[in-house]
């Protein structure tokens, strides 16, 4: 370096050659160049470089000490008390930790996801499946499922509005690594656009295909009040920061012969062959309304959130073929659903309690994707009804946490006589948790499930009684997580042991030779992972 540098400096101060005599006009004289550094300046620069290299080496040698310092928790910064009486804007809401709340609208692409992967089986090596007795039981033995959400958010300066385009792809088991077959179950769970502030500042409009739902019971993977999968449009208006009205209407077509039937018909003008013709092709139209308001209790973040909710279901009349060239008229049908929820929360560590009541009649009793199996004498779903009460909550204090969930529902189909489809069922589930520091913990889950069906069985005394089935489940779940303490902190990796005990009535519900019908006690062992972040389906907006 000391040899080459003066040489370069000398080359830099060489004078340019004289002008070409053949040029008609002389070139302008070049500007004088700055002389290069002297040998003494180069040596001083070299000494400076050597000094810097030694300092870098010292920093490298102390890297372990620096890393140890960086691993310490940051100092606690005491925030000043709010000057006004308004509660903080970003407060934990029911089942909604602050760190998982909806992000503000912002330009650009975003990615969010929910997912769980479960690898396990029973104590004899059989592949696992859900072993709950009731419709919504413990989620510990649910199968692998994931959602991948991509969204684009933009601010439009010309109209001072925001837009959000959401596309969510769902993947369900079995995965390729389980079967070795490139055959995956896929579904589009969201594909919609939402516009905010277009025309009215507090108004949001959306249209497309959307998961449209409220608060869930996490332990049961169940949304007890509102849970619609809809293709439609809606409006959301905030009268005040804590007062909201949601209106929606959409349509879908259940996979049922009461809604769609294709039959073979000959082609016109004596053409060879035949074509499938949709003789019956009707849809179910669903509209919903939801109103909620938060009453703050002081300025600590605690509050009460009452919710009222309703749905109307409707389908037009149609015809289907019962015998060749014989058509049956299906009358128009309708139904209703009403419900209410009372949510109470402290605003700290996702501590909350939700109470839900819901009642439905007619077509709405079967939900958006199901259709009546047993109908009333007039061919409608008139007479079908369902009543549901549910409770869920979460409490956390220090290294301890407690989650609970429960529901009871009574369902009757539209036929006047009792049958197997008529039932009453319920479940109570609790999960206490102890955290071991910030990265690990152990949960113990216990549940009791019971169900009564509309069929009679021998009571053992020469008489008959309604079929009654019950089961109990106990699970142990050690886990590790990078997110610290919290019952809703994700991601985490779990090891699960789950024991199920079924009585005679529960075992009688399974077909012959089914292991759940043969075993009184069943064991499930699995390794699993679960995560959620940045998904519009799991934060409240």
In whole angstroms, how large is the CA radius of gyration of the chain? 34
Length in residues, the chain: 541
Task: For domain 109-255+279-533, give the CATH number.
Answer: 2.40.170.10
Extract the tokens encoding 381.
């779903």
- Give the 3-state secondary structure of residue 268: coil
- Which pLDDT does position 325 carry in this prediction? 87
Q: Strands (DSSP E) along 423-520, which ranges? A: 423-436, 440-458, 464-480, 492-502
CA end-to-end distance (rounded Å), the chain: 63
pLDDT at 49: 82
Residue 279, SS3 per DSSP: strand
Backbone angles phi, psi at 487, to 5 degrees: -65, -20
Instruction: Identify the pLDDT of residue 118.
Output: 97
Residues of the chain with pLDDT below 50 are: 1-23, 75-78, 80, 82-101, 540-541
Which whole-number Å values give the CA distances from 357 to 313, 409, 453, in the listed order?
Answer: 19, 10, 22
Sign of the four-CA dihedral 390, 228, 487, 74? negative
Q: Are 142 and 118 in contact (CB under 8 A)?
A: yes
Domain assignments of the chain as residue spans, ordered by start: 109-255+279-533
Query: Distance between CA 495 and CA 513 in Å, rounded?
Result: 29
With 0.85 as the threshold, say if the pTM is over it.
no
Give backbone dihedrals phi and psi of 52, rounded to 5 degrees, phi first.
-65, -40
CA distance 134 to 424: 10
Asked whether the beta carbons of 467 and 458 are under 8 A apart, the reply is: no
Contact yes or no for 375/414 (Cβ under 8 A): yes
Report the helix count and the strand count for the chain, using DSSP H and E: 6, 23
- Which residue carries 């349509």 as its tokens? 251
Q: Among candidates 293, 367, 315, which has minimal Cα distance to 337?
A: 367
Separation between Cα atoms, residue 244 and residue 285, nearest integer Å: 24
Tokens of 427: 């479940």
């Amino acid at each position: 370096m000391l040899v080459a540098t003066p040489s370069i400096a000398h080359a830099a101060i060489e004078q340019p050659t004289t002008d070409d005599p053949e040029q008609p006009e002389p070139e302008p004289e070049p500007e004088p160049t700055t002389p290069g550094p002297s040998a003494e300046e180069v040596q001083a620069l070299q000494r400076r470089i050597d000094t810097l290299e030694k300092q870098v080496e010292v920093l490298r040698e102390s890297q372990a000490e620096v890393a140890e310092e960086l691993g310490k928790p940051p100092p606690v910064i005491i925030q000043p008390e709010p000057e006004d009486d308004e509660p903080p804007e970003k407060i934990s809401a029911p089942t909604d930790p602050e760190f998982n709340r909806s992000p503000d609208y912002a330009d650009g692409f975003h990615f969010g996801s929910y997912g769980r992967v479960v690898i396990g089986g029973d104590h004899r090596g059989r592949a696992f499946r859900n072993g709950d007795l009731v419709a919504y039981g413990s989620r510990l033995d649910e199968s692998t499922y994931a959602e991948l959400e991509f969204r684009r958010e933009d601010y439009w300066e010309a109209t001072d509005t925001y837009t959000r385009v959401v596309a969510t792809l769902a993947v369900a088991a079995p995965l390729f690594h389980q079967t070795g077959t490139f055959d995956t179950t896929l579904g589009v769970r969201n594909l919609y656009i939402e516009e905010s502030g277009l025309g009215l500042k507090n108004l949001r409009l959306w249209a497309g295909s959307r998961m449209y739902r409220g608060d869930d019971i996490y332990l049961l993977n169940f949304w007890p009040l509102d849970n619609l999968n809809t293709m439609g449009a809606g409006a959301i208006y905030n009268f005040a920061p804590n007062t909201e009205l949601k209106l929606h209407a959409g349509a879908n077509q259940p996979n049922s012969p009461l809604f769609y039937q294709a039959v073979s018909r000959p082609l016109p003008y004596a053409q060879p062959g035949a074509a499938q013709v949709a003789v019956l092709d009707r849809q179910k139209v669903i509209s919903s309304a939801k109103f909620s308001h938060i009453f703050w209790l002081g300025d600590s973040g605690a509050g009460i959130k009452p919710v009222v909710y309703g749905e109307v279901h409707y389908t037009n009349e149609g015809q289907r073929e019962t015998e060749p060239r014989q058509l049956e008229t299906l009358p128009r049908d309708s139904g209703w659903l009403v419900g209410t929820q009372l949510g109470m929360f402290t605003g700290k560590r996702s501590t909350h309690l939700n109470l839900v009541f819901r009642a439905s009649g007619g077509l709405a009793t079967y939900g958006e994707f199901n259709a009546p199996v047993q109908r009333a004498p007039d061919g409608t779903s008139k007479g079908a009804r369902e009543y549901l009460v549910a409770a869920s909550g979460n409490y956390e204090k220090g290294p301890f946490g407690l989650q609970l969930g429960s529901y009871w529902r009574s369902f009757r189909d539209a036929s006047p006589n009792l049958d197997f489809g008529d039932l009453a069922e319920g479940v109570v589930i609790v999960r206490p948790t102890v955290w071991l520091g910030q990265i690990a913990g152990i949960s113990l889950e216990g549940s009791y499930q019971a169900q009564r069906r509309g069929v009679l069985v021998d009571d053992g005394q020469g008489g008959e009684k309604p079929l009654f089935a019950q089961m109990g489940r106990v699970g142990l779940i050690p886990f590790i997580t990078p997110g610290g303490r919290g019952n809703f902190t994700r991601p985490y990796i779990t090891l699960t042991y789950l024991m199920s005990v079924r009585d005679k009535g529960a075992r009688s519900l399974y077909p012959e030779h089914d292991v759940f019908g043969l075993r009184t006690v069943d064991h499930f062992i699995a390794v699993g992972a679960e995560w959620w972040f940045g998904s519009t389906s799991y934060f409240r907006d």
